[in-house]
Amino acid sequence: MYQTKWKDAKREAHYLNRKFFHIPKSNLQIRLRPLVSEWGVTTETNKKKRYIVLNEDFPSYSLFRSVLAHEMIHLWQFVNNHEGTHDSRFYSWRRVLGKEGYNILESY
């Protein structure tokens, strides 16, 4: 079992952002919360700001990394005014991120 650490989430997110997504730092917000039916979600505030919520623990560090990458794809979609769906644009990241060890699935 891996208990999500803020420093790991921040490090992984900044690595992904620098290497792939180039999301403005003001849009790269991550929160750790207990989630019941999902490992992570990209959501919106009432002021139209998007942020990533990750579960507080995962079965493995590998799953944590992959879920974070998955949610960063959604954040990238929203920042670039695309639908936040699992469409061909979403899956175009699968091969690129797979080379770095991220397993991008529709759901986990």
Q: What is the pLDDT of residues 14-51, one digit of tens each?
A: 999 999 999 998 899 999 999 999 999 999 877 778 99
- For residues 40-68, give the mean pLDDT: 92
Tell which wins on pLDDT, 15 or 108: 15
- What is the model's pLDDT at position 1? 94
pTM of the model as a whole: 0.94
Domains, the chain, in order of start with CATH, read: 2-98 (3.30.2010.10)
- What is the model's pLDDT at position 60? 97
% of the chain residues with pLDDT over 90 = 84
- What is the model's pLDDT at position 26? 87
Q: How far apart are CA 63 and CA 69, in angstroms?
A: 10
Residues in the chain: 108
pLDDT exceeds cutoff 90 at 63: yes
- What is the model's pLDDT at position 107? 87
